[in-house]
Structure 1
Amino acid sequence: MAENFDDIIIIEEDDAAQVESKIVQEEESDGLKASQKQKIIILAVGALIIILITAITLFFILRPSKVEKSLSFDPIETKLKEKTIQPIETTKLENMIAKANYLYSTGSKDEALFLYEKIAMYSEAISVYNLGVAQLKDGAYNLALQTFKKAIVNDEKRCVSAINAAVCSLHLKDKESFEYYIDLAYAYLPREKNSDQYSYYYALINYYKNNYLEALSALENPTSNEYATTQKHLRAKINALFSNNDKAIEAMEEDFDADDSFSIALLYARIGDLTLALKHLEEAIIRNIEPVKASIAQVYINLKAGRINTAGKQLKNITDMFPEEVYKPYPLRVELKESLFDPLKAQIRYRNKLRNSKEFTYLKIFYFSPYKIFNADQTISNIQKGNANIYIDNISSAKEYLQRSASSSSVNQGIVKAIKDAMDFKLRDANEELQRLAQIQPKHSILQYNLALTYAQMGNIDKAHEHFLRSYHLDAKNYLSGIYATMTAQLTNKENTTLVTILKDSIMLEEPSEELDLYNILLAISDDNILSISDWLDKDYENKPLYLALDTIIALKLNNQDKAKKASHKLTLLLPNEIVPHMIYIGAHFIDLKPKEYASEVLNYLKVQKFNFNDLYYGPYLTRYLYTQQNLITGKLFFLRKQLRRVLETTKGDTHEIVAALALASLYDGAYEESYTLYNHLIDDLKVRDAYTLFLGAVASTAAEHHANAIALLELSKMKDGSFTESRYALGLLYLEVQNNQGAAIQFSRIDDSGFSSEYFNFDIDLDKLLFQKEQKLKL
């Protein structure tokens, strides 16, 4: 058809002017009339218009499929002549229109008409794509999907149109369609290799195909700064997925937008920067960004930060405001801390605790504190007063004195027996005997002191406080009872300011003595008064167990390693067969060793000791705890459990402490179900129901995934000791887990904001449950 192209007559603007001039000249030479001239002009113009229309029509019908002439266009026009149509951006389209207009106005009609045709084709395709984007933004996903399909068919923006079609399918929960279009986008991706947006398209496609590392690589090395906000969000999201939290934060902080406050708050929470996390969460709440999620996150972070009371109040408020929505964002999973069971982490926690924990400092002091014998002088005085009153014929008064003396004699005999049991590590027998005697003579100060000391050694600190305080009130000169009452008050979060003031004032009035030095040093330890406690090391008193224990404790606090080593060594020489003195020796001699070396030295040291183990089987809680921890650190728990089982099977007498020791060892050895069963036996059958035993039973129940049982035991523990923070905190977490926010808020509100951190319990977001909830939504 190329030869027919010459038959088309196109009259350009210059040709039309020449025709019109010729007609005018002929009219003048022939002398035609004006009317005839007018007709001729009209006919000529009409003919020209018809010819022009015909020429243009034939051009489009008969034009060759390939223009022979080499056009001198820029790369845009060059791309137009390629068989595969490449995407044209709107700005380039505007440049094409401007050039076509210029070509037409300057007479390059063929080139202009060719370009106008291409513009028409591309203009329609780009409009379809833009319409799809608008529909996608408006949430009309079905319409947008159909529009992007048309854009793909039109061979325009195929890669990015396929990406957007995949996004629409994702919103429509059409997995098959999503996979088809994301694969199609991947197939068309090579066409975009020369595009500035290549890295962005590459990242999006790989992100949607779950190839996160490939996506991150493209985002870290972008070929364009366009879509910067989206790219930084994707970088942050992928880095967070791989726990590269610092890099995720770095990405979010680039040109930081306050609208990202909630997201960056969660990232700061993940790296443990709770202060910045709370700051950004407050900003998110003010800006009303994810109000429910931000508020719940705030509660969880405050729990982690030890602001338990504040967390409780926030939890109550958000639950009252959003009673249903509050349970949806972050399902909670309660768990035990890894540091309880991992030997290395357990060692670090154990060593820090022994050195810095007031609880174990006081338990050591209680372990070595002496029991007290009855006041014989007071008994003799009562008899003498009775006889004197008989002499003066005051019979009723004499009977009262003599009755009191007889009663005291019976009680005093019982005290001696109980002390003997305690010295033989029959601690529970001693405690039960002293309880019986206290029913007979409740106003016996020494009896109350001894009973309190048995409770303290058994680990029942709340009961110990009760009886130490009662002992001091019965005898204001019994300073040791008063001091121990202040110590146990600290451990149970009870007010003791007035008691401490009275004690200090009273002691200051006493004459200097060895006992007075002991009282002052114990008060200094309870006050954390480092300057005052240093004086004790200069004293040259007899090597009593309590004094040597204090020497070791104080020397370690003052970093006087030599003094601590000497004192602890003397302690083991005085009490070679007891476990606790050797635990103190280990703490003093191996304190600076690295973890692996520490474990090795402890293992070798314990191998050569000759313990009688009565203190482990029947004695204080401190013995069971310290020895179990050392066996955990050295990897010997299995053998300890075997030893305890053998003793339990052959013991016909009291087995309470043996069962307790085995339950504790099984817990730390990961035999959770066994531990759970043993604690239930201890609580239900042997009737050991002090707050701490109930709490440990709840710990074992949690480890064995019996969370309902754990809640029941913690409720009992809380009733036994309302000030036991560990029980309340754990109970609050377990209530959160079962979506009882009101119950959790009550427990948290009873704990202050003093920075409490549980030794046992931890919590995290239940990702499995969260994923299940999302999958269920997709099925709807």
Structure 2
Amino acid sequence: MAEELEDIIIIEESDAAGSYAPHESESILDDDSSKKKKIIIFGLVAFLLVLIIIIVLFFILKTPDAKNTSSLDFIETKLEQNTTQPIQPSKLENMIAKANYLYSTGSKDEALFLYEKIAVYSEAISVYNLGVAQLKDGTYDLALQTFKKAIVNDEKRCVSAINAAVCSLHLKDEKNFRYYIDLAYAYLAREKDSPLYSYYYTLINYYNNNYLEALSSLENPTSKEYPVTQKHLRAKINALYSNDYKAIEAMEEHFEVADSFSIALLYARVGDLTLAQKHLAQAIVKNIEPVKSAVAQALINLKAGRVATASKQIKNVTDMFPEEVYKPYPVKVELKESLFDSLKAQLRYRDKIIHARMFNYQKIFYFSPYKVFNADQTISSIQKGNANIYIDNLASAKEYLTKSASTSNVNQGIVKAIQKALSFKLRESNTDLQELVKLQPKHSILHYNLALTYAQMGNISKAQKHFLLSYHLDAKNYLSGIFAIMTSQLIDKDSTKLATIVKDSISLEDPSEKIDLYKTLLFISDNNIISTADWLDKDYKQKPLYLALDTIIALGLNDINAAKKASHKLTILLPNEILPHMMYIDSYFSDLKPKEYAKEVLNYLKLQNFDFNDLYYGPYITRYLYIQQNLITGKLFFLRKQLREVLETTKRNTHEITSALALASLYDKAYEESYTLYNNLIDDLKVRDAYTLFLGAVASTAADHHANAIALLELSKMKDGSFLESRYALGLLYLEVKNNQGAGIQFARIGDNGFSSEYFNFDIDLDKLLFEKEQAVK
């Protein structure tokens, strides 16, 4: 009895807040009162248990309001019972939300299972969602069947038809695709009051290739739903129509790291390589499109002049993905448009060529004097020989007299070679001087003259070699030393030590006109244009070289009046030569607008009385600049006609005429003719210096003979391994033929110094990408 009473008291304490503990005096009662008390207590307990069950059932069955949503576990439990009783819409929506959440977090199987269970109870609400999940999961057959059901159920018909069309696309069923996209358009009118009307309109037009219509609705949306999809479509369509800045603007809205790769490509398209690289770096870190991102980064570095870095990246990505690396961006090698368009060529000529180091040096070489033999040194050798005869030292005397006789023959040959060079028989002069060097390999003046002919012919590598030899043979031959520095710069050879020696030696000399000239040339080689200003104040005799320097320096200082004055005097001294008049044009017409410039140049050239020997047989710079001006003025066709007539009638060597005609034909877009002429020049006339081989490759590329271009560039590289234009072009062509290893080797030799080719460019071969895509579909 005592145990039962104790049990009841414990239950009461757990359920009745106001219960009290009995006093010890109340714990012993008689039998009757004890029985009655038991009945009362048991009755109270039963009542309390019933009350608790009612309260619990009330909370379980209570419909959730906006502030108190019951657990979704109830719905899941009901679904497991396979009953067909309908569930209230609010609970279904919560269930769908849970399924969507499961799908978005990667629990696809659970989400799909939940969708299917919901569909049993309410197809009208959930079939469409099931289709979306199946579509995202890549089960396109199932998704298509599900969207068909949604259409039959008359629920979300327009968007269900759109998604059915998308499924058909994935299944490569063109007929079905057309049917469902047309069906979506037919149902579109029903959605005119829907906030998503513009979105559906966009999708239908996008899939129908009506991109401008799709873009219009994207620019004027009726809803802000699906912002990510809408911004991607805006960006994609704008990019399609080359509205790259608008595409970037769209991608910048609600920017996500996942968009790094796409926006990087857009920045690359508009030429903002810095931002392109920034976003590509993010994409690589996040492993977004790893192959595409790595290849794109390398190609952008090529565009930015970080060629050695690009070489490493190309090698790395090729090693990691040897097959995939060639798929995303097939390279198409092409020539720069600025080479051929008259307006772009003019802008390039006036902005770059006039002030370029290469052409300023070429002008200096053109007007630099050739040197004759040292008569005092020759007489000294003869006197030494006679003196040795007198003292009976016959062996020594014979050596001296033999040397003097040989030197006399060489000196005579030098005079004849100089006469030919001054008469614009430059190639003949160069050939004679090469033979004389074999007789007297230690003759400083002979090497200087030979180097100067090479420089004027455009063979800078050989010019540098002989200028350097000349200076080493005679350390007082400062002009050789200075020209060795200049030519070293043109072929990217380090001349720091040489420049220090030459400068130190000249600084020890007494002031004179020659020393002033040498110091001015050194300032030009240092690109120290401010220090050259003193030269303009000198009052020396007006020699062609001095006037040419006046013009170059004045243009560099933007002293147009001084440039006009010097170039005008130069044309008076040399009225029949082309180069002085090119420098006159640079000085007098530099401030004119493009159309006026072309008009004035054309009228000016018509008035000149050139003998054209310098064009047909003389220095390379004359041919190059005169052809450029004929391109700018639209007269290349007539120049080519003139050159052909001379080529057919001349009895002199035709090397330079052929070279001029080949170059003029290239710039006039007569690519096959240029290609043929360069092949004749290289194969038949044996003109095989690095630059001619390179120009032959340029013509071959223009004429779409890329294999021939590769062969010529390989030869050019062998002739002059420091000629960066050849290496860069060869690297691009190797990329084009999917030889990334070969391309990387060429690019590695160029460096990260901002190299930009004057001739070659590359793009992505979109036609090839489209063709490969179509072949994959077939």
The TM-score, its normalising length taken from structure 1, stands at 0.85
- Residue in 2 aligned with 1:534? 533
Inter-CA distance 121–290: structure 2 relative to 1 (3 Å threshold): closer
Query: Equivalent residue of 1:762, what SS?
Result: strand
Query: Post-superposition shift, 1:120?
Result: 11
- Residue in 1 aligned with 2:317? 318
Query: Post-superposition shift, 1:196?
Result: 1.2
- Residue in 2 aligned with 1:69? none
Inter-CA distance 94–261: structure 2 relative to 1 (3 Å threshold): closer
Residue-by-residue CA offset, 1:319-374 (whole Å, 9 max, x unaligned): 01100000000111000000000000001111122332100000000000000000
C-alpha contact 1:353 1:360 (8 A) present in aligned 2:
no
Runs of 5+ unmatched residues, structure 2: 1-87, 95-117
- Residue in 1 aligned with 2:160? 161
- Residue in 2 aligned with 1:11? none
- Residue in 2 aligned with 1:12? none
C-alpha contact 1:449 1:481 (8 A) present in aligned 2:
yes
Matching of residues 572-583 of structure 1 within 5 Å = 572-583=571-582
Aligned-partner Cα distance in 2 for 1:695–1:121? 74
Aligned-partner Cα distance in 1 for 2:93–2:636? 80
Aligned-partner Cα distance in 2 for 1:131–1:349? 61
Query: Equivalent residue of 2:255, what SS?
Result: coil
Matching of residues 380-529 of structure 1 within 5 Å = 380-529=379-528
- Residue in 2 aligned with 1:757? 756
Aligned-partner Cα distance in 1 for 2:496–2:344? 37
Query: Equivalent residue of 2:172, what SS?
Result: coil
Query: Equivalent residue of 2:437, what SS?
Result: helix
Residue-by-residue CA offset, 1:455-492 (whole Å, 9 max, x unaligned): 00000000000000000000000000000000000000
Aligned-partner Cα distance in 1 for 2:221–2:479? 73
Residue-by-residue CA offset, 1:84-133 (whole Å, 9 max, x unaligned): xxxxx9769869xxxxxxxxxxxxxxxxxxxxxxx999932222211111
Query: Post-superposition shift, 1:151?
Result: 1.1
- Residue in 1 aligned with 2:595? 596
Query: Post-superposition shift, 1:618?
Result: 0.4
Matching of residues 45-124 of structure 1 within 5 Å = 123-124=122-123
Inter-CA distance 91–621: structure 2 relative to 1 (3 Å threshold): farther
Aligned-partner Cα distance in 1 for 2:593–2:437? 49
C-alpha contact 2:589 2:597 (8 A) present in aligned 1:
yes
Inter-CA distance 91–754: structure 2 relative to 1 (3 Å threshold): farther
Q: Indicate yes or no: 2:681 matched with 1:682.
A: yes
Query: Equivalent residue of 2:761, what SS?
Result: strand
Aligned-partner Cα distance in 2 for 1:672–1:567? 39
- Residue in 2 aligned with 1:283? 282
Residue-by-residue CA offset, 1:131-171 (whole Å, 9 max, x unaligned): 11111111000010011111111111110000000110111
Aligned-partner Cα distance in 2 for 1:90–1:575? 98
Aligned-partner Cα distance in 1 for 2:90–2:615? 85
Aligned-partner Cα distance in 1 for 2:313–2:325? 12
For structure 1, which segment, 695-704 or 148-157, has the greater mean C-alpha deviation from structure 2 after superposition? 148-157
C-alpha contact 2:530 2:557 (8 A) present in aligned 1:
no
- Residue in 2 aligned with 1:371? 370
Query: Equivalent residue of 1:764, what SS?
Result: strand
Query: Equivalent residue of 1:356, what SS?
Result: coil
- Residue in 1 aligned with 2:734? 735
Aligned-partner Cα distance in 2 for 1:146–1:321? 41
Aligned-partner Cα distance in 2 for 1:744–1:476? 42
Query: Post-superposition shift, 1:250?
Result: 1.0
For structure 1, which segment, 451-460 or 171-180, has the greater mean C-alpha deviation from structure 2 after superposition? 171-180
User: Which amino acid is 1:435 matched to?
Assistant: Q
Matching of residues 281-360 of structure 1 within 5 Å = 281-360=280-359
User: Which amino acid is 1:748 matched to?
Assistant: F
User: Which amino acid is 1:210 matched to?
Assistant: N
Query: Post-superposition shift, 1:530?
Result: 2.2
Query: Equivalent residue of 2:450, what SS?
Result: helix
C-alpha contact 2:340 2:668 (8 A) present in aligned 1:
yes
- Residue in 2 aligned with 1:773? 772
Inter-CA distance 127–618: structure 2 relative to 1 (3 Å threshold): same
Aligned-partner Cα distance in 1 for 2:229–2:622? 59
Query: Equivalent residue of 1:752, what SS?
Result: coil
- Residue in 2 aligned with 1:105? none
Residue-by-residue CA offset, 1:712-767 (whole Å, 9 max, x unaligned): 00000000000000000000000000000000000000001110110100000000
- Residue in 2 aligned with 1:49? none
Query: Equivalent residue of 2:452, what SS?
Result: helix
Aligned-partner Cα distance in 2 for 1:326–1:750? 22
Matching of residues 558-707 of structure 1 within 5 Å = 558-707=557-706
User: Which amino acid is 2:659 matched to?
Assistant: A
User: Which amino acid is 2:510 matched to?
Assistant: E
Query: Post-superposition shift, 1:404?
Result: 0.8
- Residue in 2 aligned with 1:50? none
Inter-CA distance 546–149: structure 2 relative to 1 (3 Å threshold): same
Query: Post-superposition shift, 1:550?
Result: 0.2
Aligned-partner Cα distance in 2 for 1:565–1:262? 52
Residue-by-residue CA offset, 1:559-580 (whole Å, 9 max, x unaligned): 1110000000000000000000
C-alpha contact 2:119 2:126 (8 A) present in aligned 1:
no
- Residue in 1 aligned with 2:51? none
- Residue in 1 aligned with 2:131? 132
- Residue in 1 aligned with 2:34? none
Query: Equivalent residue of 2:497, what SS?
Result: helix
Inter-CA distance 120–300: structure 2 relative to 1 (3 Å threshold): closer
C-alpha contact 1:733 1:763 (8 A) present in aligned 2:
yes
Runs of 5+ unmatched residues, structure 1: 1-88, 96-118
Aligned-partner Cα distance in 2 for 1:358–1:614? 26
Query: Equivalent residue of 2:354, what SS?
Result: helix
- Residue in 2 aligned with 1:82? none
- Residue in 1 aligned with 2:251? 252
User: Which amino acid is 1:416 matched to?
Assistant: V
Aligned-partner Cα distance in 2 for 1:599–1:383? 60
User: Which amino acid is 1:348 matched to?
Assistant: L
Aligned-partner Cα distance in 1 for 2:681–2:571? 32
Matching of residues 193-272 of structure 1 within 5 Å = 193-272=192-271
Aligned-partner Cα distance in 2 for 1:418–1:653? 16
C-alpha contact 2:119 2:127 (8 A) present in aligned 1:
no
User: Which amino acid is 1:309 matched to?
Assistant: A
User: Which amino acid is 2:615 matched to?
Assistant: L
Aligned-partner Cα distance in 2 for 1:120–1:430? 95
C-alpha contact 2:729 2:760 (8 A) present in aligned 1:
yes
Aligned-partner Cα distance in 2 for 1:646–1:235? 58
Inter-CA distance 90–261: structure 2 relative to 1 (3 Å threshold): farther
Aligned-partner Cα distance in 2 for 1:241–1:728? 34
Aligned-partner Cα distance in 1 for 2:302–2:672? 29
C-alpha contact 1:355 1:557 (8 A) present in aligned 2:
no
Query: Post-superposition shift, 1:409?
Result: 0.3
Identity %: 79
User: Which amino acid is 1:264 matched to?
Assistant: I
- Residue in 1 aligned with 2:71? none
Residue-by-residue CA offset, 1:535-581 (whole Å, 9 max, x unaligned): 00000000100000000000001111100000000000000000000
Query: Equivalent residue of 2:707, what SS?
Result: helix
- Residue in 1 aligned with 2:552? 553
